[in-house]
Amino acid sequence: MQAIQLANPDGLTPTPVKRLPEQSLLLVNYLRMVARRSRSAARMDLNEACGLLLADPANADMRHAEILIRGFKQAVGKRPVFFQPDTDDISFDEAWLGRLFETLARGDEDSFVFLIKSRVPLWTQRNFAFLIRSISEQFSQT
């Protein structure tokens, strides 16, 4: 049996996949650190948690990211994959979150809504979007 050669006929190397913008990568790295700290914490209901955030906004800046991480599985129906902080590789979940932050930075509301609707069930889309927006706003203020 002869091996199949997978060479590019033009002799050119393929273009790498576009990476996330620097600001989105910083946010993803921040969420990686929050995920690492929250590994052993109990999962939480996003609806309840967002209600508590609105009722008691004290220290909300730190809690938004933690609630997002702890409720991520409920929101997308599977356990998220977060790599170690400062890792060059990006998981699908991290890339998706990074794209959400990128669309907010660009002011692209249609793409933001599309990305949320593509993975998050209707009953929790509003709360998930609230958390993403809050984290993005807080991060852009620092």
The answer to whether position 7 is within a domain reads no
The answer to whether position 111 is within a domain reads yes
The answer to whether position 35 is within a domain reads yes
Report the alpha-carbon distance of residue 106 to residue 115 in Å, rounded.
14
The answer to whether position 36 is within a domain reads yes
The answer to whether position 135 is within a domain reads yes
Asked if 21 and 31 touch (Cβ cutoff 8 Å), the reply is no
- Best-predicted range by mean pLDDT among 19-23, 34-38, 120-124? 120-124
Mean pLDDT of 122-128: 91
Range of the domain at 120: 22-141
Per residue in 53-90, pLDDT tens? 665 666 666 688 888 888 888 888 888 899 998 888 89
Query: Does the pLDDT of residue 38 top 80, yes or no?
Result: no
Mean pLDDT of 97-121: 95
Question: How many distinct structural domains can be found in the chain?
Answer: 1
Give the C-alpha distances (Å, rounded to integers) separating 54 from 14, 48, 58, 112: 48, 10, 9, 22
Average pLDDT of the chain, as a whole number: 79
The answer to whether position 4 is within a domain reads no
| Phi, psi (rounded to 5 degrees) for 22 | -55, -45
- Name the pTM for this structure: 0.76
The answer to whether position 6 is within a domain reads no
Q: For residue 113, what pLDDT is reported?
A: 97
The answer to whether position 97 is within a domain reads yes
Asked if 30 and 139 touch (Cβ cutoff 8 Å), the reply is yes
Q: What is the DSSP string of the chain?
A: -PPPP---TT-PPPPPPPPPPHHHHHHHHHHHHHHHHTTTSPP--HHHHHHHHHH--TTHHHHHHHHHHHHHHHHHSS----PPTT-S---HHHHHHHHHHHHHHHT-HHHHHHHHHHHS-HHHHHHHHHHHHHHHHHHHH-
Q: 104 falls in which pLDDT band (50, 70, 90)?
A: very high
Q: For residue 108, what pLDDT is reported?
A: 96
Lowest mean pLDDT among 4-13, 29-38, 78-87, 129-138: 4-13
